[in-house]
Amino acid sequence: MIFNGKTILVIGGTGSLGKVFVKRVLSGELGTPKKIIVMSRDEAKQHQMRMSYLHKLVATEEVIYNNFKNALEFRIGDVRNYADVCSAVKNADIVVNAAALKQVPTCEYFPTQAVLTNCLGASNIVRALEENSYPVNTVISVSTDKACKPVNVMGMTKAIQERIIIAANILNPETRFICVRYGNVLASRGSVVPLFHEQIKNGGPVTVTVPEMTRFLLSLNQAVDTLFAALRSAKRGETYVPIASSATVLNIAKALIGKRKIDIKITGIRPAEKLHEILVSEEEVTRCVRRGDYYAILPMLPELRNLNQNEPAALKKEFGSEDTALDLAGTVTLLKKHEIMIGDIDLSQGEELLR
């Protein structure tokens, strides 16, 4: 029970992933934590999250003014600010870095801002532990498939974030620094599924960039499962990757539309966008091993490699979304499994109807 009696800091904890992570931790499935600290910049999102947990139990004023007595504590702070980071991490046992600028167009237009959040933020966490010897047991940082052979600013900054976190193990031997890397999270803010639902609600058209474009897909709970798996089992310097399904964007659109009379409009690939994503590159294949439902990418720095590592390489080629894309029926099954609202769709020329 890895969370028993632990203080867990979730930086960026009011985001889609952070909220589900906190809910799962509070459920006690991996032990009862001493405290969960949610740190973010947005007081409105913090207030909304606080009320969703506590407003039925006690009066609003009592919740707000006893914030630091509660097991779920909220802090206004910015991962870009070193002092804020120091204040938050100093009493934590586990630090989850989920703070990010993650929208590709935003990062392209404001690359310096992406560097400040995604790179400097990670550096501030490492620096806080390095300079102050805070007794943090584990730091886990959330990355993305776009960090693998990156072509856009978001991916580039996340790739550097991974390297900052992994390299931190060398000068901070008392703390385990690890990463997780995964693809598109279904129904998260800014993802394609809410966009398609909104377009369908308004009568279309549903805009698809390129019909053959593929993306890895997993639910928010699968993303949290990946974090939990890494926190349980990852060794210092390892990056955990879920063995996730993928689908074409066109099949996602078709599944959501179903038999409704809504047009699909092909708009063309957007700036800084890949046709297919990669979760494990061909350069990483030789140091990628299987751990249950996950791949673990071993660190490339020799100081962090276990020379007696006997685990065989799990892959012979890179793990890309093009190679594992589901057909339309598989896409429908995947979306239904994760309770994504889809339209009625005829998969066999009128003989089979999935609802």
Both tokens assigned to 140:
């886990």
Asked if 192 and 250 count as a contact pair (C-beta separation under 8 A), the reply is no
Question: Minimal CA–CA distance to 237: which of 302, 158, 282, 150?
Answer: 302
Question: Minimal CA–CA distance to 309: which of 320, 319, 295, 299?
Answer: 299
Asked if 309 and 298 count as a contact pair (C-beta separation under 8 A), the reply is yes
Cα–Cα distance, 89 to 134 (Å, whole number):
8
Residue 265: active-site member: no
Cα–Cα distance, 165 to 159 (Å, whole number):
10
Tokens 């900054």 belong to: 157
User: Which residues make beta-bridge pairs with 142?
Assistant: 180
Q: Measure the N-to-C terminal CA separation of the chain; round to a whole number of Å.
A: 39
Question: Minimal CA–CA distance to 263: which of 209, 313, 208, 316?
Answer: 208
Question: Minimal CA–CA distance to 264: which of 341, 343, 185, 325?
Answer: 343
Tokens 């308004």 belong to: 202
**Sign, CA torsion 52/2/174/20:** negative
Burial of 303 (0-12, 13-18, 19+ CB in 10 A): exposed
Asked if 253 and 206 count as a contact pair (C-beta separation under 8 A), the reply is yes
Cα–Cα distance, 135 to 247 (Å, whole number):
43
Of 6, 102, 146, 158, the active-site residue reads 146
Active site members: 146
